[in-house]
Amino acid sequence: MTPVPVDAHDDLLTDRRVLVVEDDPTVREVACSYLVSAGFLVDEAADGVSALRAAARARPDLVVLDRMLPGLDGVEVCRRLRADHGTAVVMLTALGSTEDRITGLEAGADDYLAKPFSPRELVLRVRSVLRRSVGELTPESAFDLGPFRLDPARRVITKRGSELALSVREHDLLAFFLKHPDQAFSRDQLLRSVWRWDFGDLSTVTVHVRRLREKIEDDPTRPTWLTTVWGVGYRFGVT
């Protein structure tokens, strides 16, 4: 299959390595072809065990991961990738329920795409996650807010001097809140501002807020930094 070009190659992402994990050979071939055409270095695997071996060997910048895999399923693979390498993950799912998508996000996926999907959209989603994980060409200066310090050049956020272990989307979400303290944002606004989606599943935001609270709050069940504004959304405040 000859891929339809998405657009010109992104110099910032040139030679970034992507691992495609998909047990359907046709879907895997199409995804790999489009990603290669977009300028990525692409490796592939057909099952969960092979995916973990390939990730340990090739150290990909991002993994495109099917949720339903033989042997070791995509959710468990995602958990291990996040724990072992901190690798960015875009999860593919043929399961339509919100709960199934939430399971993938809670395992650490940065984004998801429902099957059947457009391979052009897959390339755009991969680029979106990678652009954020590799940083901008002219990053902003580091700054402090309460016990938190955001260093955009290094893509590092610390709390009381200790670096927070954040996924790409968790980092983006917390960085957005740190840049806009004491402002209330709806889930729609966060989806547009952080994910750059014009529309999407609002539970994506809910899951990431919950995961973020687990990493920044002393008691996630009684948050003091990232609070809920009932009827509106969320606010990040430093007192």
What is the pTM for the complete model shown?
A: 0.67
> Residue 16 is encoded by which pair of tokens?
């970034």
* Neighbour count for residue 100 (Cβ, 10 Å): 16
> Residue 151 is encoded by which pair of tokens?
């260093």
> Residue 31 is encoded by which pair of tokens?
């995804």
Per-residue confidence (pLDDT) for residue 239, from 0 to 100: 64
| Closest C-alpha to 207, from 219, 198, 195, 193 | 195
CA atoms within 13 A on the CB side of 65: 37
Phi, psi of 143 (to 5 degrees): -150, 160
| Res. 197 pLDDT band, cuts 50 70 90 | confident
Which pairing describes strands 62-66 and 17-21: parallel, antiparallel, or unpaired? parallel
Whether the Cβ atoms of residue 18 and residue 10 lie closer than 8 Å to each other: no
Residues 11-39 pLDDT 10s: 567 678 999 999 999 999 999 999 999 99
Task: Give the list of residues 6+ apart from residue 155 with CB closer than 8 angstroms, or none.
Answer: 133, 135, 171
Question: Which DSSP string corresponds to 132-154?
Answer: HHH--SSPPPPEEETTEEEETTT
Task: Give the list of residues 6+ apart from residue 151 with CB closer than 8 angstroms, or none.
Answer: 142, 157, 158
Residues 152-179 pLDDT 10s: 888 899 999 999 999 888 999 999 999 9
Per-residue confidence (pLDDT) for residue 133, from 0 to 100: 67
**Containing H/E element for 211?**
helix 203-216
> Residue 109 is encoded by which pair of tokens?
């996926």
Residues 99-109 pLDDT 10s: 777 777 888 88
For the chain, report the end-to-end CA distance as a whole number of angstroms: 57
